[in-house]
Amino acid sequence: MRAAATVLLCLVTAVPAIAEDAVRSPLPRPNPVLQTVPAAPPATAPTEGETLALPAIPPAPMPSGQTALAGVLPPAPPAPGDDAGALPPLRPRPNPWLAGGGIGAAGPAAPAEAAVRVAVVRPRPRPAGLERQVAALRAAAAAPAGPQGGLDLLGLRPKARGEVVVPVSAAAAPAPDRRKRKAKEAEPAKGSVCGVPAIRGERIAPIKAKVQGCGLADGVRVTAVAGARLSQAITVDCATAKALNTWVAGVVQPAFHGEVVELRIAAHYICRPRNNKRGAKVSEHGRGKAVDVAALVLSSGKVVSVAGDYRQLRAVHRQACGIFGTTLGPGSDGYHEDHLHLDTAAYRSGPYCR
């Protein structure tokens, strides 16, 4: 309550003073400079060559805290004895910057030693590399635009947003997966067996036999080897199929200039004793390890048989030794006069060839 009363008392005291200032006449304050000028012109007009004398106009007082700037404010009044009332001829004021002076220098220009020195900024020369780049840019701009454009020859074309350029040398090539490569190599071609594309045929179910020593657990039915078809599909294991393919491709075909188109088969898998003798050991035919070849058919249609043309087959018969574990033919035991017996039996003493 006391604070409110104090504020109200201050307002009541200030209102009469404000009202008194408002009713006063807003007349301008007198200008001391204008008061020094006489109200009336001189009684007589000046004659030619006479200098019109006017009373001196004192300079207006400078506010405190300000200083005169050279060449901006009027000069000081002349000393006694000079033509106080004479008007000097109009001349251009000297430029303090051109005369060597500076801001704040009063009176005549300062000597050259005291003149304000202005640092002249000159452009630096371009480096040699920049000059070559500028010359290359001008040449590219002047050249006709090719498929990629003139400036694109220097690699200045902006890349598309999101495009990432990776140097070829920096890109790490993925390491080859050896397992996939081995699986691909082991995967047979369509229609081939035993992992050899030249051996055409199919896999068969395991063969079980009542006779001990016969049977074929992992057998295939082969229809062609090394580009030569078989007169009948043979049932053998993969070791025998691969040996037959090696013999035909590396021995038989070169011997007949690659003209062998068919092998006539006399026998393949059959559970029987050797040479069909009762009580003899089980033949390799009963294990799926043997095949009997009776003749070769050439592309001309000619048939080269073991029984009638053995002289032409003697060399291929002899070279089968080693590829197969057993090779038998005419003159061996009297049971193979009309065919070549080839099997993959393994002997401790080495191949058996007759």
Per-residue model confidence as pLDDT tens digits over 133-145:
777 777 776 766 5
Q: Residue range 142-161: average pLDDT?
A: 52
Q: What residue spans define the domains of the chain? A: 193-353
Query: For position 138, what pLDDT does the model report?
Result: 78
Per-residue pLDDT tens digits for 291-324? 999 999 999 999 999 999 999 999 999 999 999 9
More confident residue, 238 or 29: 238
Whether the per-residue pLDDT at 217 is higher than 80: the answer is yes
Q: How confident is the model at residue 116 (pLDDT cuts 50, 70, 90)?
A: very low
| Residues 221, 225: Cα–Cα separation, whole Å | 12
Question: Rounded to 5 degrees, what are φ and ψ at 253?
Answer: -65, -45
- DSSP class of 265: E
More confident residue, 138 or 157: 138
Q: Residue range 91-95: average pLDDT?
A: 67
Question: Residue 349, CB half-sphere, CA atoms under 13 Å: how many?
Answer: 3
Q: How confident is the model at residue 278 (pLDDT cuts 50, 70, 90)?
A: confident
The answer to whether 351 and 327 are in contact (CB under 8 A) is: yes
| Residues 112, 248: Cα–Cα separation, whole Å | 114
- For 48, the token pair is 């030619």
| Residues 87, 219: Cα–Cα separation, whole Å | 137
Whether the per-residue pLDDT at 154 is higher than 70: the answer is no
| Residues 225, 258: Cα–Cα separation, whole Å | 13
Whether the per-residue pLDDT at 119 is higher than 80: the answer is no
Q: Is the pTM of this model over 0.75?
A: no
Q: Residue range 13-19: average pLDDT?
A: 55
Query: For position 284, what pLDDT does the model report?
Result: 94
The H or E element that residue 264 is part of is: strand 260-267
Whether the per-residue pLDDT at 263 is higher than 50: the answer is yes
CATH topology for 193-353 is Muramoyl-pentapeptide Carboxypeptidase; domain 2 (3.30.1380)
Percentage, residues of the chain above pLDDT 70: 49
Q: Residue range 148-165: average pLDDT?
A: 50
Query: For position 136, what pLDDT does the model report?
Result: 78
Query: For position 104, what pLDDT does the model report?
Result: 45
Whether the per-residue pLDDT at 220 is higher than 90: the answer is yes
| Residues 329, 345: Cα–Cα separation, whole Å | 16
Range name among 86-100, 249-263, 281-295, 335-349 with the lowest pLDDT average: 86-100
